[in-house]
């Protein structure tokens, strides 16, 4: 057991000490994050119904990662790991709610580090540093020079929001009534992203955070064959008669919006020198009348949003960078959201903070240097009776209902990607070791106290 922990620390130390690829060649960096897009929702990941030509082309010209993971299975904690380089056992936000990242120097974000490296930074769309709060100032305080979007996740549930923030100013959207209106949210964000690219000198970092295809499941006007088929509802989400068609329209619209971002880069002449990363914050949802089985959104994976099975946390990731990616293709490198911060730091020539859970995947992108590897990946989820999971090599341990001392399940992903064969009884020693890793990795959270996770040891359930 001590050898396993020592190996983890050595790998982490090696990742932190990596030197930047080049102090002079600083690429623009755009991270595009979709909301609740499944692993199987894109053509390049096996989708047969939805057409995603832009993203498929980016994947063909760049690198398509097949073993990339979100930071969590719901929004706020996943985005917190992306921002801070810490997994859900250690990052500040570990669930949804009225919480936000703390002011500097606490919860240092990738945006702040990019600013320090000379980048102009922007967040457009759904905030990745606040939960259900109305505090645009916090976005700017966490390293973003420009902010245009919504700060409360609930405001991102409607395709026609009543307002957006432009910096700290609240801008009313005339004609929008949540379930209908004139200004579709993802369209607004694309226009603002195009403007930022056009007006900003290199280098820049843009976090483009689309709120689709999260419910409300409502495609842009004119995008659904046969009409919208929607009606106003007394419930939270817009009610539609054909959610499967609307979901498909949202994914295809998302692909089109990404195409416009690429076109803006080409028009400016910086496409080759810009790293575009596209991913999703978690697996596909079961909300607003949609079910992932309608379009095989999880692909070959088990489960979806709020699961810690692969369908809830394994997400698509496409990297496109003509000047930096020497060998386009597919990568099976195992990576996670918390790896983005050290990756961006390495590419930007910024100093990478110590104590991260993330390991830069810059070598996997450029083919230069030795690619570090995780000893394990860890997730915890504070809803649904408390859940946690750990991946080590091809082995995956999943434990549900910790509040009731739920039994662990063990799967070998190399032989059983769909997680159908629980091998915990055949591998009791491995289960015990992985439970101890879980126990040792979790740190208590002052804003997300959890008796099931905080008691010591939780591994008494084995």
For the chain, what are the domain ranges? Answer: 22-366, 382-461
- Candidates 269, 122, 299, 130; CA nearest to 206 is 122
So what's the pLDDT on residue 25?
A: 76
- Candidates 387, 362, 390, 354; CA nearest to 375 is 390
Mean pLDDT check: name the lowest of 240-244, 301-305, 367-371, 376-380. Answer: 240-244
Where b means 16+ CB within 10 Å and e means fewer, 48-74 reads eebebebbbbbbeebbbbebbbbbbbb
In the CATH scheme, what is the code of domain 382-461? 3.30.1120.10
- Candidates 100, 32, 97; CA nearest to 315 is 32
Mean pLDDT check: name the lowest of 80-89, 229-238, 304-313, 452-461. Answer: 452-461
Tens of pLDDT, residues 376-391: 999 999 999 999 999 9
CATH topology for 22-366 is: Alkaline Phosphatase, subunit A (3.40.720)
456 pLDDT more than 70: no
Q: How far is CA 73 from CA 21, 297, 309, 432, in A?
A: 32, 15, 9, 24
Tens of pLDDT, residues 331-380: 999 999 999 999 999 999 999 999 999 999 999 999 999 999 999 999 99
Count of positions (residues) in the chain? 462
Query: What phi, psi does 130 have (nearest 5°)?
Result: -125, 150
Q: How far is CA 7 from CA 1, 4, 310, 333, 343, in A?
A: 10, 5, 25, 18, 21
C-alpha angle 209-214-216 in degrees, rounded to nearest 5: 125
Task: Tell me the C-alpha distance between 438 and 4, whole Å.
Answer: 12
pLDDT confidence bin for 11, thresholds 50/70/90: very low
Tens of pLDDT, residues 159-194: 999 999 999 999 999 999 999 999 999 999 999 999
So what's the pLDDT on residue 241?
A: 86
Torsion sign, CA atoms 79, 71, 330, 417:
negative
So what's the pLDDT on residue 225?
A: 75
Tens of pLDDT, residues 57-81: 999 999 999 999 999 999 999 999 9
pLDDT confidence bin for 227, thresholds 50/70/90: low
Task: Tell me the C-alpha distance between 302 and 307, whole Å.
Answer: 9
459 pLDDT more than 60: no
Q: Quick check: 55 and 253 in contact, CB under 8 A?
A: no
So what's the pLDDT on residue 457?
A: 55
Average pLDDT, rounded, for the chain: 92
Task: Tell me the C-alpha distance between 12 and 16, whole Å.
Answer: 6
pTM of the shown model: 0.93
């Amino acid at each position: 057991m001590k050898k396993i922990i020592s190996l983890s620390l050595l790998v982490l130390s090696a990742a932190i000490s990596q030197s930047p690829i080049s102090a002079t060649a600083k690429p623009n960096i755009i991270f595009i994050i979709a909301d609740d897009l499944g692993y199987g929702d894109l053509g390049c990941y096996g989708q047969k119904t939805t057409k995603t030509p832009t993203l498929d082309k980016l994947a063909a010209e760049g690198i398509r990662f097949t073993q990339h993971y979100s930071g969590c299975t719901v929004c706020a904690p996943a985005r917190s790991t992306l921002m801070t380089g810490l997994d859900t056992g250690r990052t500040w936000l570990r669930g949804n709610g009225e919480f936000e990242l703390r002011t500097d120097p606490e919860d240092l974000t990738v945006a702040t580090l990019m600013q320090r490296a000379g980048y102009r930074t922007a967040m457009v769309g759904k905030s990745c540093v606040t939960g259900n709060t109305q505090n645009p100032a916090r976005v700017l305080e966490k390293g973003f020079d420009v902010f245009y979007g919504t700060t409360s996740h609930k405001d991102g549930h409607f395709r026609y929001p009543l307002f957006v923030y432009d910096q700290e100013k609240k801008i009313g959207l005339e004609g929008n009534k949540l379930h209908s209106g004139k200004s579709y949210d993802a369209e607004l964000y694309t226009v603002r992203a195009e403007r930022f690219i056009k007006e900003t000198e290199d280098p820049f970092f843009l976090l483009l955070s689309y709120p689709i295809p999260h419910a409300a499941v409502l495609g842009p006007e004119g995008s659904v064959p046969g009409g919208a088929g929607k009606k106003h509802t007394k419930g939270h989400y817009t009610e539609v008669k054909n959610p499967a068609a609307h979901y498909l329209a949202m994914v295809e619209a998302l692909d089109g919006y990404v195409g416009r971002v690429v076109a803006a880069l080409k028009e400016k002449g910086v496409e080759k020198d810009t790293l575009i990363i596209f991913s999703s914050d978690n697996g596909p949802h079961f909300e607003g009348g949609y079910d992932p089985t309608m379009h095989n959104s999880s692909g070959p994976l088990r489960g979806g949003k709020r699961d810690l099975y692969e369908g809830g946390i394994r997400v698509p990731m496409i990297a496109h960078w003509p000047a930096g990616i020497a060998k386009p293709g597919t990568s099976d490198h195992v990576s996670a959201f918390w790896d983005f911060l050290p990756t961006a730091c390495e590419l930007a020539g910024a100093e990478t903070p110590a104590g991260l859970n993330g390991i830069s995947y810059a070598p996997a992108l450029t083919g230069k240097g030795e690619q570090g590897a995780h000893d394990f990946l860890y997730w915890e989820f504070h809803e649904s009776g408390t859940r946690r999971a750990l991946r080590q090599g091809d082995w995956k341990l999943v434990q549900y209902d910790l509040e009731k001392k739920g039994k662990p399940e063990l799967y070998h992903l190399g032989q059983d990607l769909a997680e159908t064969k629980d091998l915990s009884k055949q591998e009791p020693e491995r289960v015990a070791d992985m439970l101890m890793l879980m126990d040792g990795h979790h740190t208590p959270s002052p804003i997300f106290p959890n008796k099931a996770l905080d008691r010591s040891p939780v591994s008494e359930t084995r």
